[in-house]
Amino acid sequence: MSAVIRDVHPNVRAFLDMIAWSEIGTRLLQNSDDGYDIIVGGGKFEGYNDHPRKVVDLGNGLRSSAAGRYQILSRYWDHYRIQLQLPDFGPLSQDRYAVQQLKEQRALGLIEAGLFDEAVAKCANIWASLPGAGYGQHENKMQHLRDAYLAAGGDLGED
């Protein structure tokens, strides 16, 4: 498991790997293009020309268009594709989108400093699988997220 983007701090790559693990899990990461071609609910999509824009009924009144390694919602994709001049929905574009989300949440500096718990808290409103997200979906335990981050090569600072 490894983010494609290379021009970021190693802790940021590890944090991206942790988000992917949290959002889609080990099995889907292993049985896909490292999660970049996954649709919410476990399906796959073909081609990276654009966000697949498929809405999936998750039950209990929940519907989602989340897709890719970071489960990006289609309603946000067009804005960021233009803002970041992303050529497609490919792996590097998905990584750049996710890094932009970390910047906007003011989590990037925390991640680079290894302040993991604080960074996760800043990002919980973006990714439903993070503790405290409150979207009515499964939220992973902080220790499991920390373990995934460390396994991906992340470093913890002095929290």
Give the integer Cα–Cα distance in Å for 116 and 95.
19
Are the CB atoms for 74 and 53 separated by under 8 Å?
yes
Give the integer Cα–Cα distance in Å for 139 and 104.
22
Which one is catalytic: 23, 46, 139, 158? 23
The token pair at 120 is 């996760």
118 is catalytic: no
Location of structure tokens 């991640």: 111
Give the integer Cα–Cα distance in Å for 138 and 149.
19
The torsion angles phi and psi of 137, rounded to 5 degrees, stand at -110, 170
Just list the catalytic residues.
Answer: 23
